[in-house]
Amino acid sequence: MSTIASFGFWSFVGIVAGIYTLFALGVQVQFGFAGLLNFGHVAFMGIGAYTMAILVVKEDMNMWAAAGCGVLLAMLGGVLLGLPTLRLRADYFAITTIAFSEILRYVATNEDRLTGGSQGTINLAGIGKTAQYDDQWRSFLGSVERDLHVGGDVAMLIVVWTVALLAVVAVWLMMKTPWGRVLKSIREDEDAAASLGKNVFAYKLQALVVGAALGAIAGLFYAWQFSFFSPDDFAPLLTFFAWMIVILGGLGKAWTVPVGAIVFGVIFAGTRFFDFPPFSLLDSTERAYLRLIVIGLVIIGLMLFRPQGIFGSRREMVLE
């Protein structure tokens, strides 16, 4: 059976799309609702994944408790990032957030004793010992498989998408509360919101922290899905994928995020099937380059021809 018809391959694409949904939902909260140009979102993913893995391997902590710590630490990271930077102008804020994520990536690469360094989590327990942080996750997934009588991929698919869709609904509900409406009013006109007595800074900080939690949860699933990760998995490119997903689906709505993530997943995976001439002349690395060229062209094309995204409405929000 060719890959294009293989169930295993497409369930993998589905799992990754679910993880990206969680990840990009954070950007939607921060930018789509609060108007914050966070280009360092991948940092929260890294904090979540690394905190969980380090606590499990080095401190023998229960994995679920460690996962909770990962999310909390990412939220704390959001506060620490936001306190000095949220008062900055948008372009300065954007550049500072990229710098934030890159500083963390450099630290993770160089502090071998804490993170395993550039070799990644395999090196967490020191040289010669293989470190595993996901035993508890494997047994949890095994019990899901037995209870639902499904295979491993399907169990993961179900778990990821259950969490992702719950998060989408949660964000949707949050945006219907007065809190969500204030957030949107800040996005539209900060000064007007401030003149009505709203603490603009606090609302922005809260949006940043909610987004950070979503990013960290995505990081946990990323860690569990791949059983191994290294600092290079959290390069700025991933942040831009999340931005592309949010803009593909449409800005300012929660339910457009999973749609964007699925479309993105198909574009990303679809370039694997360019096995007809002239593309069959390329080897697999060269096709990986081609995939990123396609992604780049899609971003440019979207901005040129449909800046509100597939399902975004021009009246709700257009990129400025």
Partner 1 sequence: MFMQLLANGLVTGSVIALAAAGISIVYGILRLVNFAYGDYMTFGAFAGILFNVKLGLPIVLAAVLAMAATALLSVALELVLWRRLRAKSAGFMSLFLVSVGLALVLRHVIYLVAGPQPRTYAVDPYKVYVIGSARLSGAQGIAIVVSAVGIVLIGLLIAGTGVGRMMRALADDLPLAAVAGVRTGRVIVAAWIVSGLLAGLAGVLAGLVQTSFDPQLGFTLLLPIFAAVVLGGIGNVYGALAGGLALGLAMELSTWTELAGGVNPTYKPVVAFGALVLVLLLRPQGLFGRARVV
CB of 193 to partner 1, least distance (A): 20
CA distance 116 to 56: 14
Regarding 297 and contact with partner 1 (CB under 8 A), the answer is yes
Tell me, residue by residue from 70 to 89, as one string, x for binding to partner 1 by CB under 8 A and - for no binding. --------------xx-xxx
Size of the chain in residues: 320
Q: Which is nearer to partner 1, 18 or 312 (CB)?
A: 312
Q: Which is nearer to partner 1, 80 or 173 (CB)?
A: 80
Positions in 20-39 near partner 1 (CB under 8 A):
37
CB 232 within 8 A of CB 118: yes
Regarding 267 and contact with partner 1 (CB under 8 A), the answer is no
- Would you tell me the crossing angle of helices 63-85 and 90-110 to the nearest 10 degrees? 140
Q: Which residue shows structure tokens 């904090």?
A: 47
Q: Which is nearer to partner 1, 135 or 286 (CB)?
A: 286
Mark the segment that binds partner 1 (CB under 8 A) among 127-135, 147-155, 188-196, 295-303.
295-303
Q: Which is nearer to partner 1, 89 or 149 (CB)?
A: 89
CA distance 219 to 22: 9
Which residue among 91, 196, 278, 284 contacts partner 1 (CB under 8 A)?
Answer: 91
Q: Which is nearer to partner 1, 141 or 294 (CB)?
A: 294
Regarding 194 and contact with partner 1 (CB under 8 A), the answer is no
CA distances for 34 relative to 38, 200, 229, angstroms: 11, 10, 31
CB of 20 to partner 1, least distance (A): 17
Regarding 298 and contact with partner 1 (CB under 8 A), the answer is yes
Which residue among 28, 38, 51, 96 contacts partner 1 (CB under 8 A)?
Answer: 96
Q: How many contiguous H segments (helices) and E segments (strands) does the chain have?
A: 13, 0
Q: Which is nearer to partner 1, 192 or 288 (CB)?
A: 288
Backbone angle region of 282, left / alpha / beta, with phi > 0 → left and psi within -120 to 50 → alpha: beta
Q: What proportions of the chain, in percent to the nearest 5, are helix, strand and coil?
A: 75, 0, 25
- What is the gyration radius of the CA atoms in the chain, in angstroms? 20
Q: Which is nearer to partner 1, 16 or 98 (CB)?
A: 98
CB of 312 to partner 1, least distance (A): 13
CB 207 within 8 A of CB 36: yes
Chain centroid offset of residue 47 CA: 12
Other beta carbons within 10 angstroms of residue 302's beta carbon come to: 17
Residue 4 per-residue DSSP state: G
Residues in contact with partner 1 by the rule CB under 8 A: 37, 84-85, 87-92, 94-96, 98-100, 102-103, 106-107, 109-110, 237, 240, 243, 247, 282, 285-286, 289-290, 292-293, 295-300, 303-304, 307, 319-320
